[in-house]
Amino acid sequence: MRWSQLFIPTLREVPAEAEVVSHQLLLRAGFIRQLGAGIYSYLPLARRTLQKIERIIREEMERIGAQEFYLPALHPAELWQETGRWTEMGDNMFRLKDRTGRELCLGMTHEEVFTSIARNELRSYRDLPQLWYQIQVKFRDEPRPKAGLLRVRQFTMKDSYSFDLDANGLEKSYRLHEQAYRRIFDRCGLEYTVVQAESGAMGGSESEEFMVRTDAGEDMVVSCACGYAANLERAVSCLVPITDDPAERSPELVHTPQQKTIQEVSEFLKVPKSRQIKSLVYVVESKPALILMRGDHQLNESKLSRAMETDQFRPATPDEIRDLFGADPGSLGPVGMQGKGVAIIADLSLQNRRNLICGANRDHYHLLNVTAGIDFTAAFYDLRRVEAADPCSCCGRPLDIFKALEVGHIFKLGYKYSRSMKATVLDPEGKEVPIIMGSYGIGLERIMAAAVELYHDEAGIVWPRSIAPFQVLITLLGTQENQKQLAKRIYDALNQMGIDCLLDDRDERPGVKFKDAELIGVPVRVTIGKKFEQGKVEIFCRSQRELREVDADEALLEIIRALGD
RNA sequence: CGGGGCGUGGCGCAGUUUGGUAGCGCGCACGGUUCGGGACCGUGAGGUCGGAGGUUCAAAUCCUCUCGCCCCGACCA
């Protein structure tokens, strides 16, 4: 393509609203424009990059035998009511009514629609397995869209769904997807980590996320050199053992005036935080619960959710706490709370601990010598948030925690949708059994944005070759006829070889062409200019920022070689 | 939803405290000189200052309401 005929509105300055690098560069390089909060238009360069991503995805999905569909984005409410997600999705779902008042929504994901096809058409175990996918627009009314393309309200997703007879089949479909995803992200040039994840509102058991490490991301990933990696929401770690005073003592009231926080009590009583009990009060499905953590630990609410088997909970208000405990936060504890209608649950780190310190449920007082299992009882769960440098539960080495962006997610759904929507087949014995399902998603624009986050410099974007909008840019500086002819020859030859090539034939000064070239990030640039008089052209590799002078006759060969580097 | 910030030509901003009828840089158009790292000179176009209402002789500026966008938090398949 000729630059003079392409719409590439580059910007010299960074638009004020762009904070993260990928947003700034994609705007400046003329890939995207914003239409509203979390709503973006994709201009020709972005289309080219996204189409390359799509193509890679299609090839890899076909490779595992998946079949492409194209389903509606507009869904009748009844479908979502069947699975309960019409309510469950809450305000995150865009809802609308048609002219007759019928309720509809814009699809956030397509389990319901794909399952509705499956239940109507799949009759026999002989029809299984099926791997179905599509590349579709999704709508989510995010409470807070942000960071350019990283969190938006309309985006493109490759979503696929597997339908199997049994758990073994699901395992197979799931692993096929894992492999396909690895190949997709490898081919897109991304560095990523596969982490154990929560399945959240998708339902289901096993789930892994494909994460790209970047500070622009919103997730926290815990990882270890041994290969262990998990989303912070479900990460586990070991604890350095603590030896308590073994003596058998009874709780002892101690005056702790104005000492409320763990820190204050620790200093006041000269006792380490790890020997205190942190008491948190939550309201879980409208019933009060006392949650006990070690003094120096943080509660992980995802783990609480799993332990309580509900996501309906919130911290109690100060008034509620006073009514229940007769004291304010800062002086709370489990002793004497048995049988008062307050559920007591505790983190595993408190199990078998002796002679600890907790609030006395009386303002300005704490209790010494509180022993788990004797002075209070509790249901124990893993509720602790992993901290950086905790020992890895697999190998004991210190864990690393970093921010990351989720670009893909695979789930074993199990029977959640097939049961609620009655998608069944007859098994070999002629018995009707529900289909077991998996679902798998990749965010296309996120791949594009993640690549920019990962690969850029002060001058602009440095695209991985596989998803660059063009692979080669011919920067024509000279105005002489023979230079133009050379440019044209190279351009035609590359096109004939199927190499995407952009010819900068604009009537612009060299400086402008060079700056724009680096901004849009094309991997290989050929400059035809003043060196041409000595029969030379220049080849510039964007990633290494390396300039090579080569004979004009060899230009084509050298370009191909540069692409291979 | 809570907290904070910002809306002034296409982009980046000043002007708002102290009301007096809108300015700078970039970009854009035309002419000329330039032409290897975002050129220079000259001329010019382009803004009901997010919107509505109010105060005032007079509002970008003060007051009320409202809309939009960004950031932090809450939330997040």
* A244 or A292, higher pLDDT: A292
Nucleotide nearest to A138 (CA to C1'): B77
Instruction: State the Cα–Cα distance between residues A472 and A495, nearest whole angstrom.
Output: 10
Using the C1' atom of nucleotide B74, identify the protein residue whose alpha carbon is closest.
A143
The two three-digit tokens of residue A2, written as one number: 């000729």
Nucleotide nearest to A88 (CA to C1'): B77
Which segments of A31-178 are extended strands (E)? Answer: 32-36, 39-42, 67-69, 74-76, 95-97, 103-106, 130-139, 154-164
Using the C1' atom of nucleotide B26, identify the protein residue whose alpha carbon is closest.
A12
Whether A409 contacts A217, CB under 8 Å: no
Nucleotide nearest to A518 (CA to C1'): B37
Chain B: bases < 7 Å from a protein Cβ: 1, 6, 11-13, 25-27, 34-39, 68-77
Instruction: State the Cα–Cα distance between residues A381 and A170, nearest whole angstrom.
Output: 29
- Length A16 CA → B19 C1' (Å): 29
Q: Give the pLDDT of residue A203.
A: 56
Residue type at A281 in one-letter notation: V
Q: Give the pLDDT of residue A157.
A: 96
Q: In this model, does residue A184 exceed pLDDT 90?
A: yes
Whether A384 contacts A301, CB under 8 Å: no
- Length A508 CA → B43 C1' (Å): 22
Nucleotide nearest to A311 (CA to C1'): B75
Would you call A420 helix, strand, or coil by DSSP?
A: helix
At A19-48, the pLDDT tens digits run 899 999 999 999 999 999 999 999 999 999
- Length A3 CA → B75 C1' (Å): 44
Q: Give the pLDDT of residue A202.
A: 55
**Mean local confidence (pLDDT), A522-543:** 95
Overall residue count recorded for chain A in this entry:
565
- Length A443 CA → B71 C1' (Å): 24
The phi and psi torsions of A553 (rounded to 5 degrees) equal -65, -30
Torsion-angle region of A341 (φ positive above 0: left; ψ -120 to 50: alpha; else: beta): left
**Mean local confidence (pLDDT), A336-355:** 86
A446: DSSP letter: H
- Length A312 CA → B49 C1' (Å): 48
Strand pairing report for A130-139 and A67-69: parallel
Q: Give the pLDDT of residue A419.
A: 94
Nucleotide nearest to A11 (CA to C1'): B11
In A437-554, alpha helices (H)? 444-454, 481-496, 510-520
Residue from A244, A264, A216 nearest A350 by CA: A244
Using the C1' atom of nucleotide B36, identify the protein residue whose alpha carbon is closest.
A510
Q: In this model, does residue A261 exceed pLDDT 90?
A: no
Q: Give the pLDDT of residue A62.
A: 97
At A55-104, the pLDDT tens digits run 999 999 999 999 999 999 999 999 999 999 998 898 899 999 998 999 99
Whether A237 contacts A226, CB under 8 Å: no
- Length A15 CA → B21 C1' (Å): 30
- Length A151 CA → B71 C1' (Å): 14
pLDDT band at A549 (very low <50, low <70, confident <90, very high): very high
Sign (positive or negative) of CA dihedral A107, A441, A202, A383: negative
Nucleotide nearest to A140 (CA to C1'): B77
In this predicted structure, which of A126-130, A157-161, A357-361 has the lowest mean pLDDT?
A357-361
Nucleotide nearest to A201 (CA to C1'): B77
**Got the DSSP string for A304-356?**
HHHHHT-S-EEEPPHHHHHHHHSS-TTS--STT-TTTT-EEEEEGGGTT--SE
Residue keyed to tokens 């995407």: A500
Instruction: State the Cα–Cα distance between residues A109 and A291, nearest whole angstrom.
Output: 35
Average pLDDT over chain A reads: 91
Nucleotide nearest to A314 (CA to C1'): B74
- What ipTM does this complex have? 0.92
Using the C1' atom of nucleotide B73, identify the protein residue whose alpha carbon is closest.
A144
Using the C1' atom of nucleotide B72, identify the protein residue whose alpha carbon is closest.
A144
The two three-digit tokens of residue A541, written as one number: 């590799």
Q: Which positions ≥6 away from A412 have C-beta within 8 Å?
A: A170, A171, A174, A204, A205, A206, A207, A438
- Length A565 CA → B40 C1' (Å): 41
Give the distance between the most distant pair of CA atoms in chain A.
98
Instruction: Tell me the domains of chain A and their CATH numbers.
Output: 43-73+108-235+401-452 (3.30.930.10), 252-381 (3.90.960.10), 470-564 (3.40.50.800)
Nucleotide nearest to A529 (CA to C1'): B36
- Length A533 CA → B63 C1' (Å): 71
- Length A140 CA → B16 C1' (Å): 39
- Length A95 CA → B7 C1' (Å): 30
Percentage, residues of chain A above pLDDT 90: 64
